[in-house]
Chain A
Amino acid sequence: MNLISVTSPHTTGPSRTQRVMAQVLLATLPGLAVLCGLFGWGSLINVVWACAAALACEAAVLRLRGKPVGFHLADGSALVTAVLLALAIPPTAPWWLTLVGVGFAIIFAKQLYGGLGMNPFNPAMAGYVLLLISFPVDMTRWLPPFEAPDLATSLQLFLGRDHGIDALTGATPLDSLRTWAGDAAALAAQPALHGTFAGLGWEWVNLAFLAGGLWLLWRRVITWHIPAALLGALALCALPFWLHDSARFASPLFHLFSGAAMFGAFFIATDPVSAATSRTGRLIYAALIGVLIWVIRSFGGYPDAMAFAVLLLNLAAPTIDYYTQPRSYGHSKPKRGIGG
């Protein structure tokens, strides 16, 4: 009898990376839908344009590096970076803003470090921070929710034609908080701060990303450690200060459902490449991100802090991994000390 001897694995299927990336893309759909519902077509245009730009950049660099272009493009990681970055950019962004951000994310933050799996920083957030520090005005021009411009206006904005844009824009809940913190009467008069249960409009964006994130959890694409620790730390920091002085500090609920909190907790901080790896490590990593977000939101120069916090902790992830390396079976736990 002839038996064919083949080494494992014996089952074949589409690449695991490809499936994970596809699921992440699917999970962003509710968030994208709500963004489009509140702010018009801008986010959808951004996403499509960013995907095209990301694929072009990725293909160009892969060619330069002499790597198989089709194989690496098919893993979908460039698309995920593009979509995450496009969701973070305001829907009023002109085409060149998205292009610069995506180009930097793919070429500098990802491919120059060696491509997927080698990048120490989350590419989408690196691109976002580059844009935020370079073009602060364009990057903070959000529209007021529920007053979505029509498709023609969105396209004009995308093409860079100034459509009386400053008349359209409005402060986000975090902007309002940053401007008026400490003044109880002024805070009460800010419509952006008084939605159904958190900041106006943004509560629904965050709820949609929470739904997408929970689906990712259920599909086991991500584990609970990072979102739970991040949101837990954020809420835990906010609670005592809010109880002490609610005119100056926002409530935990407001923090959890404002800005990029849910988006970051489920989609950004969970990036398996740039996050810490062990379970303990992930808890520490995500909790520190949560603390930093609260600190920067409350005392820093920017209204939101997800990108900065994630990049800073990306930098710390190797150190966190070093000190939280799990014991392997049959070995004692390695002693880790300062300089050890």
Chain B
Amino acid sequence: MSDIDYRGIALNGLWKNNPATVQLLGLCPLLAVTGSVVNALGLGLATMAVLMLSNLAVSLIRGFVTPAVRLPAFVMIIAAVVTVVEMVMQAYTFELYEILGIFIPLIVTNCAILGRADAFAAKHPPLPAMLDGMMMGAGFLVVLLLLGALRELVGEGTLLANMHLLFGDAARGWQITLIDDYRGFLVAILPPGAFLGLGLIIAGKNIIDKHLKDAARRRQPGDAAASRRVRTTGKVA
């Protein structure tokens, strides 16, 4: 494994195999906590940290765990990492910890994490495994942030409200009020808004993909119609 394609790993996590918009994994926290940017950022960072650490640990023990017991071992590792992250959040960002509530321990059940552990970290050395965790986490974080921003903007007319929950008192003035005297479009904050928003984001990504593919085909007229579908289910590569 000398020639690891680091660029490919990054591209895979951020765009081509994005856990939220392509694999559609971890939707429960994604839909539940993206009512505002600060909630999304908090959970996104926590998930990213868990992904990196669990991928690293899984990669380190990959030579010692037999395939038969690998899943329980992975789950134990992930659960331990999540507990650590939860305690850190409880210590340093207590208010946010209270707001996110059950969804922090529920990171354990985020399929994206177990999926990466089994599909990538268990087969690769520590450094690429950690990078993969970081990039998958970043891909997840970006979608969380996008959805959080979209819902906060449409629902409340603000951006970056309550950022002091995460960054301390210095961040109290970060709130941007885009529309003064906004009525508030409640549905965006309510659960249906999460589904509508995620649907729009996935649709947007598919449109961009289609344009990129068409552009690539126009540049290489010889390479005709190799149709590829965006995969939403099936084996995670």
Contacts and interface: CB of A to CB of B under 8 A. Distances in A.
A133 B187 contact: yes
B151 to A, nearest CB: 13
Interface string A87-119: 000000000000010000000100000000000
B80 interface: no
Contacts of B183: 135
B185 A134 contact: yes
A130 interface: yes
A175 to B, nearest CB: 20
A135 B185 CA distance: 7
B187 to A, nearest CB: 4
A133 B196 contact: no
Interface size class of A (residues with CB under 8 A): under 10
Contacts of B196: 108
Contacts of B190: 133
B186 interface: yes
Nearest to A97: B183
Contacts of B184: 134
Nearest to B193: A134
Contacts, number: 15
Contacts of B192: 130, 133
Interface string B188-202: 001010001000000
A134 B187 CA distance: 5
Contacts of A130: 187, 192
B124 to A, nearest CB: 40
A94 to B, nearest CB: 10
Interface string B164-195: 00000000000000000001111100101000
Contacts of A135: 183, 186
A334 to B, nearest CB: 29
A287 B129 CA distance: 57
Interface in A202-244: none
A308 to B, nearest CB: 13
Interface string A133-169: 1111000000000000000000000000000000000
Nearest to B196: A108
A4 to B, nearest CB: 42
B116 to A, nearest CB: 32
B193 to A, nearest CB: 9
A136 B190 CA distance: 13
B127 to A, nearest CB: 44
Most chain B beta-carbon contacts within 10 A, residue among A100, A133, A134:
A134
Contacts of A108: 196
Nearest to B184: A134
Nearest to B183: A135
A267 B187 CA distance: 26
B22 to A, nearest CB: 20
B92 to A, nearest CB: 35
B15 to A, nearest CB: 24
A133 B188 CA distance: 10
A233 B97 CA distance: 48
Most chain A beta-carbon contacts within 10 A, residue among B183, B184, B190:
B183
Contacts of B186: 133-136
A133 B192 CA distance: 10
B154 to A, nearest CB: 10
A130 B155 CA distance: 13
B97 to A, nearest CB: 29
A126 to B, nearest CB: 10
A47 B183 CA distance: 23
Contacts of B185: 100, 134
B200 to A, nearest CB: 10
B226 to A, nearest CB: 24
Nearest to A112: B199
Contacts of A134: 184-187
Contacts of A133: 186-187, 190, 192
A133 B187 CA distance: 6
A130 B189 CA distance: 12
Contacts of A136: 186
Interface in A244-299: none
Nearest to A100: B185
Interface of A: 100, 108, 130, 133-136
6 contacts: A100-B185, A130-B192, A133-B186, A133-B187, A134-B186, A135-B183
Per CB-CB distance, the 4 closest pairs between chain A and chain B, nearest first, are A134-B186, A134-B187, A134-B185, A130-B187
Interface of B: 183-187, 190, 192, 196
Given A130-B187, A133-B192, A134-B184, 7 more contacts: A108-B196, A130-B192, A133-B186, A133-B190, A134-B186, A134-B187, A135-B186
